[in-house]
A and B are shown apart, each in its own frame.
Chain A
Amino acid sequence: MKVLLSWLNEFADFGDDVDTLADEMTALGMPVEETVTAGTKVPGVVVAQVLRTERHPDAEKVHRVYLTTDGSNELHVWCGAFNMTAGDKIPLATLGTKMPDGREILRRGILGIDSEGMCCSAKELDLNDDHGGILILPADLPLGADVFDALGVTTDTVFDLDLTRNRPDCWGHMGVARDLAARLGRPFRADTSGEPSHPLHGLPISIVDDGTCGRFTATVVKNIRVTQSPQWLQDRIARSGMRPINNIVDASNYVMLERNQPTHAYDLRSVESGFRVRFAKAGETFATLDGQMRELHPADIVIANGNDVAVGLGGVMGGLESEVVESTTAIALEVAWFPADTVLESAARHGLRSEASARFERGADPWGLEQAAWRFIEILRLTCPDLEVHGAPQSTQNATCPPPSGDVTLRLAQVERILGVALSARQVAELIEPIGYRCVGEGSAVTVSIPSWRPDSTTEIDVIEEVARHYGYEALGKSVPNSTVHGRLSTVQQRRRAVHSVLIEGGWSEAMPNPFLDPSAAGLAGIDDSSQLALVNPLVAEESVLRVSLRPGLLRAVAYNQSHRVDGIHLYEVGHVYPRGAGALPDEEEMLCVMSVDDTDGELAALRSWSLLVDALGFGAQIDAKSTPGGYHPGRSATLRRGKQVIGAMGEISPVVLKRHGIVGRVSCLEVSLSVVLREEPKPVAARPVSRFPSSDIDLAFVAADTVAAADVHRALKSAAGNLAVGLDLFDVYRGKGVPEGSRSLAYRLRLQAADRTLTDDEVAGVRQKCIAAAEKLGANLR
């Protein structure tokens, strides 16, 4: 919302300390985003008259303009615009003029002929955005006069406010001024009224359908003529971001920009039969002011004339047929209040968000209609001094209309409880009465009546907010609560952080792929997509389903890095997946996915993270190599289980999947449900003293078929060795000469030690035999 200082000053004496005013508006919740000066005079630009124009045979893009600035002299100027003819008055920037864009006008020659100034467009003078040609001035301006003085251009400051949606009153200068005057303790003057000058010209008005309109007023004004508004008024409208049109439309816009109250002037000839406000009929069509024929919806508000012919789309836009035209001499002025949500929906349906609809949407003041009508007449009288007002505004209303004021009980104790500052009834009244709230009562509670222009304010807390705003947020001060709560991370959060540190120390970097995927992405990665949920309103089709696995995102990240020649690709992600659930919400789960592009040495690098994580976080799982997780290499993968519960997967990504993603080489991957493993907190381990007796090592090498899992052999040996085993390491895996095809040699070093004695040779030999027997049961034979 653009707000002009000169306009604010009509409501109170704010002076011209622009920075302070901007700070105060910001402190009131109307943050000033930008402050600019408009209409700054450009000294040296004078009214000149075109004597004649001439082409030069060697200059195509410019012509020669001969001007006079006093009726007798003759100045010559080269000009690139051709829109003037002899007799036109135009602005001439004389030699030495400094233009708003910084240029200085110099005696500059073309083809050896000097130019004695520059003809200016409106934009070049910062008057408005029109750069279509040279500004043609009104014929009655005196020659040689300063153009800005002659036009009556006013200098003004424009504040651009970023308003919040709870303050509809500030969508007019009056509301901003009321707040600011209260803040600064300046007297605020706003009331306007009028007297009809002529007998009532009655129009039958009826609100046919409840819910279309709360209050409707109509005023007949005759003996008008359509003309231009005064320059200062046009300036105000233009600087507020609207386009000056004619005195009638400008008066309507002026009132709206001032009072947040849209009005609409109909040519009296089209509404002589009166007004009927109703919902649209099925199939009803109507041409709006913008020339568009619109098919109406039964929830649209229609302003019809007495013959039930639509003349306006209520709260949104007037009709083409009833528009004020050159020949108009009498108007009927509609000033009405429409319900916010009905206008909102209607404007949205027709893609027609007008300045008027935007204001009704936020909430206008149903009890400010008559004042708005009188203000309109006051403005119109500037250009039509002989206008006739045929009766005071005629009004009608129904139950849809909010009451003139609502009462709220404000407990002073509650003010203190929320704001932390104790205020008396009198102090509260001093703060909010200047903005139109009325306070009654002196005790512990005050009855506050809320003004009709504040539809956002309906409860005690709303009033407390007004008290806080006008007391000043900064003035309320700062304190720190006396908390009895101790800050900490939960176990899950501490363990999640451990996951991050383990992985980054291990060489993986964290990726954050998009959780929205292409519908085919899961399938391409070999993942079951039957539980995949779709977005109803995705931005793009490639991001239209919610992921059920982190793998597709990381595969894309791997492919991206590989295609950019990045070495050492080790990535992980901690993030949610959202498979369809049994209830209304998905079965959201937090997952970890670790992915590595493997070196050629045969190590599945991502699997290294499993040991690191197990070691750091103390969880475990069965590594079930018999069931291949979807999208993995069937001979190089395993499902991670807790009995029947699957908590993850590990192994090499299927070469088929890699090929589809354009990934070269081998990629290993580990996936674990963090929702499962972070919740488990291992009990603290009770310390066991380290044995002071010597230990004995046994080396055992077994030949085992590839189908026998090393982890199973490990487990069997450990269990056979029993309590005496203090260490068991697989220190060599050998395939080749001396070992049958399809088998490999697994060499273990077992360290035995007792807490209370030195082990005898017999004991050690006994354990050795037990281990050999246990391995044999699995088909692993001593080499």
Chain B
Amino acid sequence: MRNDISAAVEAALAEIAAAPSSSALAALTGSLVGKKSPLGQLKSKLGSVGDIDERKAMGQALNEAMIAVEAAIATKRADSESAEIEAQMAGEGIDLTERLAPSRRGRTHLVTQATQRLEDVFIGLGFQVAEGPEVESDFYNFEALNMPKSHPARSMWDTLFVESSEPGSVVLRTHTSPVQIRVMQEWAPPIYAVMPGRVFRRDTPDATHMPVFHQIEGLVIDRNITFRDLAGTIEAFTKAFFGAEFTSRLRPSYFPFTEPSAEFDIRRANGSWIELGGCGMVHPNVLRAGGLDPEEWSGFAFGFGIDRMAKERHSIDDIREMYTNDLRFLRQFS
């Protein structure tokens, strides 16, 4: 019997080695270790061995033979499977660049991109965002901003008027400053707000002007707000938006709704200055128009153009280009 066992094991190992694939091996397994396999049949004959010691020894030999065959099957299966996967992978290489689908993603307008970037920087500086109507009354656009009727400073803006029952009383806002008054009236101080939006002037379009463009306005009203806070806030914004190597300066200027008024310039690392916008301490008359007591509250305001930010960021020569709505233009900017 011992010989029979050895012969069966040998035959089984030979068959395992010859199995051409993992699936052939799987089909083979029953015939090598199953009940009807030579080893299985020897096992069933074990009972006929009379000598108890001999029977024990044969049982143990059979078990070992079985384990050896199973181990050989497992080893062969692992080898076959990995060879088969290797073979599969070797035969199915592809050019990934052929499979890269073009992006179908659209684009927000450059002005929206610039507005969102500005809003995010101001939010980081502790500002909220306020909005107001684009068609405004004379009161909000001029009168409440310390420009009573026939004030000469009104001619600083070429105003577009909208038909109304009281001629001249409805305008397309010439700046975002009317939102200052609305915010003062609707929110309670302390106010830290920026007001981006569309504004309108009766300007013939050219490379640097559009009759419809965008501004962002900032307003801070609190107790004990000083001119130093204005300068510091402009400086903080400059560094946050343009980069730490930029600095800012204020120089005297004139706006009816602020006093003292200033222009603010940004200095690039190379020393050149960019004129950015206007600012100043909110004029007492403007605080009053907003329903606030100038003896209790003080504040500052600033404003500048958004379109120019986009124009300069992307080196656009002609601002009109941004308003053609040409997808070939829009798609350049992610």
A residues with CB within 8 A of B: 26-29, 31, 164-167, 340-341, 344, 361-362, 417-421, 459, 461-462, 464-465, 468-469, 473-474, 476-481, 483-490, 493, 497, 500, 503-516, 533-539, 543, 546, 556-557, 560-561, 564, 566, 568-572, 574-576, 578, 584-586, 588
Q: Check A578–B252 contact: CB distance below 8 A.
A: no
CA distance A164 to B124 in the complex (A): 34
Q: Check A478–B259 contact: CB distance below 8 A.
A: no
Query: Which residues of the partner chain A approach B39 to less than 8 Å between Cβ atoms?
Result: none
Q: Check B260–A489 contact: CB distance below 8 A.
A: no
B residues with CB within 8 A of A: 104-109, 111-112, 116, 119, 122-129, 131, 133-137, 150, 152-153, 156, 160-170, 172, 190-192, 198, 202, 204, 211-212, 220, 222, 224-229, 231-233, 235-236, 249-254, 259-263, 281, 283-284, 298, 322-328, 330-331
Q: Are A485 and B249 also in contact (CB < 8 A) when A341-B150, A560-B326 are?
A: no
Partner of B156, one of A165, A459, A506, A572: A165
Query: Which residues of the partner chain A approach B283 to less than 8 Å between Cβ atoms?
Result: 461
Q: Are A537 and B227 also in contact (CB < 8 A) when A564-B326, A588-B135 are?
A: no
CA distance A481 to B250 in the complex (A): 17
Q: Check B254–A586 contact: CB distance below 8 A.
A: no
Interface-centre pick from B202, B252, B331 (highest chain A CB count, 10 A): B252
Q: Check A539–B202 contact: CB distance below 8 A.
A: yes
Query: Which residues of the partner chain A approach B136 to less than 8 Å between Cβ atoms?
Result: 585
Query: Which residues of the partner chain B approach A421 to less than 8 Å between Cβ atoms?
Result: 228
Closest A residue to B227 using CB positions: A419
Minimum distance in angstroms from B217 CB to a CB of chain A: 15
Query: Which residues of the partner chain B approach A484 to less than 8 Å between Cβ atoms?
Result: 190
Query: Which residues of the partner chain A approach B116 to less than 8 Å between Cβ atoms?
Result: 497
Given contacts A560-B325, A588-B134, 8 further A-B pairs with CB under 8 A are A165-B152, A462-B259, A465-B260, A476-B227, A476-B228, A478-B228, A536-B163, A546-B135
Partner of B224, one of A417, A474, A485, A487: A417
Q: Check B161–A561 contact: CB distance below 8 A.
A: no
Q: Check A510–B107 contact: CB distance below 8 A.
A: yes
Query: Which residues of the partner chain A approach B211 to less than 8 Å between Cβ atoms?
Result: 516, 539, 543
The 4 closest A-B pairs by CB, nearest first: A29-B252, A420-B226, A164-B254, A420-B228
Closest B residue to A510 using CB positions: B109
Q: Are A566 and B326 also in contact (CB < 8 A) when A341-B152, A473-B250, A585-B170 are?
A: yes
Q: Check B326–A485 contact: CB distance below 8 A.
A: no
Partner of B220, one of A165, A481, A507: A481
Q: Are A474 and B249 also in contact (CB < 8 A) when A421-B228, A490-B128, A509-B106 are?
A: yes
Q: Check B107–A504 contact: CB distance below 8 A.
A: yes
Minimum distance in angstroms from A187 CB to a CB of chain B: 23
Q: Are A485 and B228 also in contact (CB < 8 A) when A341-B152, A510-B107 are?
A: no
Minimum distance in angstroms from A584 CB to a CB of chain B: 6
Query: Which residues of the partner chain B approach A561 to less than 8 Å between Cβ atoms?
Result: 325-327
Q: Check B119–A489 contact: CB distance below 8 A.
A: yes
Closest B residue to A459 using CB positions: B284
Q: Check B112–A510 contact: CB distance below 8 A.
A: yes
CA distance A18 to B218 in the complex (A): 36
Q: Check A483–B190 contact: CB distance below 8 A.
A: yes
Closest A residue to B136 using CB positions: A585
Query: Which residues of the partner chain B approach A464 to less than 8 Å between Cβ atoms?
Result: 259-260
Closest B residue to A489 using CB positions: B129
Query: Which residues of the partner chain A approach B263 to less than 8 Å between Cβ atoms?
Result: 31
Closest A residue to B119 using CB positions: A489
Q: Check A516–B325 contact: CB distance below 8 A.
A: no
Closest B residue to A575 using CB positions: B198
Q: Check B190–A473 contact: CB distance below 8 A.
A: no
CA distance A570 to B105 in the complex (A): 10
CA distance A389 to B28 in the complex (A): 137
Q: Check A516–B227 contact: CB distance below 8 A.
A: no
CA distance A346 to B225 in the complex (A): 43
Query: Which residues of the partner chain B approach A546 to less than 8 Å between Cβ atoms?
Result: 135, 162
Q: Check B122–A487 contact: CB distance below 8 A.
A: yes
Q: Check A503–B106 contact: CB distance below 8 A.
A: yes
Query: Which residues of the partner chain A approach B106 to less than 8 Å between Cβ atoms?
Result: 503-510, 570, 572
Query: Which residues of the partner chain B approach A459 to less than 8 Å between Cβ atoms?
Result: 284
CA distance A108 to B324 in the complex (A): 54
Q: Are A535 and B127 also in contact (CB < 8 A) when A473-B250, A476-B228 are?
A: no
Closest A residue to B224 using CB positions: A417
Query: Which residues of the partner chain B approach A418 to less than 8 Å between Cβ atoms?
Result: 226-227, 260, 281, 298
CA distance A450 to B3 in the complex (A): 130
Minimum distance in angstroms from B166 CB to a CB of chain A: 7
A-B contact pairs, 26 of them (CB 8 A): A28-B252, A164-B254, A165-B156, A420-B227, A420-B229, A461-B284, A478-B231, A479-B228, A479-B232, A481-B220, A483-B192, A485-B190, A487-B128, A488-B128, A489-B128, A497-B116, A500-B112, A507-B104, A510-B108, A510-B112, A512-B109, A564-B328, A571-B325, A584-B137, A584-B170, A586-B135
Query: Which residues of the partner chain A approach B220 to less than 8 Å between Cβ atoms?
Result: 481, 483
CA distance A481 to B299 in the complex (A): 10
Query: Which residues of the partner chain A approach B163 to less than 8 Å between Cβ atoms?
Result: 533-536
Query: Which residues of the partner chain B approach A536 to less than 8 Å between Cβ atoms?
Result: 160-163, 167-168
Query: Which residues of the partner chain A approach B325 to less than 8 Å between Cβ atoms?
Result: 511-513, 556-557, 560-561, 571
Query: Which residues of the partner chain A approach B123 to less than 8 Å between Cβ atoms?
Result: 487-489
CA distance A478 to B254 in the complex (A): 20
CA distance A374 to B260 in the complex (A): 36
Query: Which residues of the partner chain A approach B249 to less than 8 Å between Cβ atoms?
Result: 473-474
Query: Which residues of the partner chain A approach B261 to less than 8 Å between Cβ atoms?
Result: 465
CA distance A570 to B324 in the complex (A): 15
Q: Check A478–B129 contact: CB distance below 8 A.
A: no
Q: Check A477–B231 contact: CB distance below 8 A.
A: yes
Query: Which residues of the partner chain A approach B253 to less than 8 Å between Cβ atoms?
Result: 29, 164
CA distance A462 to B233 in the complex (A): 23
Minimum distance in angstroms from B293 CB to a CB of chain A: 13
Query: Which residues of the partner chain B approach A584 to less than 8 Å between Cβ atoms?
Result: 137, 164-166, 169-170
CA distance A486 to B125 in the complex (A): 9
Q: Check B107–A509 contact: CB distance below 8 A.
A: yes
CA distance A436 to B69 in the complex (A): 115
Q: Check B228–A504 contact: CB distance below 8 A.
A: no
Q: Check A481–B225 contact: CB distance below 8 A.
A: yes
Q: Are A537 and B160 also in contact (CB < 8 A) when A461-B259, A509-B331 are?
A: yes
Query: Which residues of the partner chain B approach A512 to less than 8 Å between Cβ atoms?
Result: 109, 111, 322-323, 325
Closest A residue to B204 using CB positions: A539
Query: Which residues of the partner chain B approach A566 to less than 8 Å between Cβ atoms?
Result: 326-328
Q: Check A560–B324 contact: CB distance below 8 A.
A: yes
Q: Check A480–B229 contact: CB distance below 8 A.
A: yes
Query: Which residues of the partner chain A approach B222 to less than 8 Å between Cβ atoms?
Result: 481, 483
Query: Which residues of the partner chain B approach A571 to less than 8 Å between Cβ atoms?
Result: 325, 327
Minimum distance in angstroms from B237 CB to a CB of chain A: 11
Minimum distance in angstroms from A239 CB to a CB of chain B: 25
Minimum distance in angstroms from B262 CB to a CB of chain A: 6
Query: Which residues of the partner chain B approach A576 to less than 8 Å between Cβ atoms?
Result: 133-134, 198
Q: Check A487–B166 contact: CB distance below 8 A.
A: no
CA distance A419 to B230 in the complex (A): 10
